[in-house]
Amino acid sequence: EHFACPISIAGEATLSLQAERWIGVAKGVDNALFVQLGVGVGAGLLVDGVIQHGADGAAGEIGLMPYPVSRPDGSLELTSLESLASGAALKRRGSALAATPAGAQLLALASGDPAAVDAATVFAAARADDAAARGLIDEQITYLAWGLSCLACALNPRQIIVGGGLSRSADLFFDALRDRVNATVPFAPDWFLSALGDEAVALGKERGYAQTLFG
């Protein structure tokens, strides 16, 4: 209604995967999983050379995958994966930890305000060898490894590519995440950090525009 041209809409992870196929680490690869780790969690799915969108355009919404957690009474409830493993989850848990004696270093880094703790604060504390912050990151890896193992078993990707804002601190979790996933799947994929960083989404849009123009 507003633009005199074709319009297509895609999620960040799908656009990032498109960019990685164009000029990144997925060039020449036909089966890959791009994992977007940021405030939430998403994925781009490349299967047999075709990026998958799903019946409703929601393929790759892995942050909404139901994860079973135990209630205090011993029963199980299902919660979304990204409520346990994402930048938002790390902020929430970090803020709660900073309000306890074990979170003293987090509190200091946040200038005494637990509400000011975010994922970057947790990573900074972990770099300073704070055991509590490292524990939070390890918990996130456990949840995320479960989700990625399920996808790897279902899709058998040649590559898993990790991108998004949290990937800037991948030195604190990348190896552990890779090792946990690869130990649980029948065919271990190759792992890469995004070669394009924060530019991946924009480059994916550019690639889509070029495809529209030139086919």
Residues comprising the chain, all counted: 215
The mean per-residue pLDDT over the stretch 97-104 comes to: 95
Residues with Cβ within 8 Å of residue 69, at least 6 apart in sequence: 76, 77, 78, 79, 84
Q: Is the pLDDT at 213 greater than 60, yes or no?
A: no
Q: Residue 202: its pLDDT value, please?
A: 52
pLDDT of 3-36, one tens digit each? 887 776 777 888 888 888 887 788 899 999 999 9
Amino acid at 183: A
Whole-structure pTM value:
0.85
Q: Residue 12: its pLDDT value, please?
A: 81
Residues with Cβ within 8 Å of residue 168, at least 6 apart in sequence: 197
CA 3 remoteness from chain centre: 33
Mean pLDDT across the chain: 88
Amino acid at 16: S
DSSP assignment of 156-194: --SEEEEESGGGGGGGGTHHHHHHHHHTTSSSPPEEEE-
pLDDT of 149-167, one tens digit each? 999 999 999 999 999 989 9
Q: What kind and span of H or E run contains 115?
A: none
**Residue 59 or 1, more confident:** 59
Amino acid at 24: G
Q: Is the pLDDT at 207 greater than 70, yes or no?
A: no
Residues with Cβ within 8 Å of residue 145, at least 6 apart in sequence: 177, 180, 181, 184
